[in-house]
Amino acid sequence: MTVISAQRRGSLLGVVDRYWRNSGYRMRTVNNHVDAPAMYAETKDGFAVSLIVADKGQVHFDVNSPCVSYSEVADSPRQATAPLDPEAEVIPRPNIHSDFWSAQTPEVGVTVGGD
C-alpha cells in the first residue's frame, strides 16, 4: 500500500476529480474534512465510484455496480501488487514508499486541498 503524504493528498484528489468530471461522472457528495476527505460520484451507467482517505492517510477506491442479479464473482486473475497475508484480518495500513506520492513537500504548481 503506497504511502500518500498529507502534502500530496490534494494532488491526488485533484487528479481524480478532474478525471471523473472529464469522464462525465456526476459528482454526488464530498466530505471536505482535512483528515478524512472523500468524493462520491456516479457514472452514466449507474456505477457508484468513490475515493476516501481513511486511517493513516490510506486511500480507498470503491466501485459498486448497479443492480444485478446475485451471482458468484470470480477472483481477480491478476496478482495484487502488495498481496495480503492470508491470515490478515484487517487490511494493513500504507507501508510502501513512493518518491512522488510519499514526498513531504507539496507538488510544485498545485495547491494543497484541491480546487
Residues that bind other proteins (CB under 8 A): 28-29, 31-33, 35-36, 38, 40, 48, 50, 52, 54-55, 58, 60, 62, 64-67, 70, 75, 84-91
Residue 38 or 103: the one with the smaller Cβ distance to other proteins is 38
- Phi and psi at residue 18, to the nearest 5°: -60, -45
Q: Does an H or E element contain 50, and which?
A: strand 48-53
- Give the Cα separation of 101 and 50 in Å (integer): 20
Q: How far is the CB of 75 from other proteins (least distance, A)?
A: 8
- Give the Cα separation of 13 and 65 in Å (integer): 22
Residue 23 or 65: the one with the smaller Cβ distance to other proteins is 65
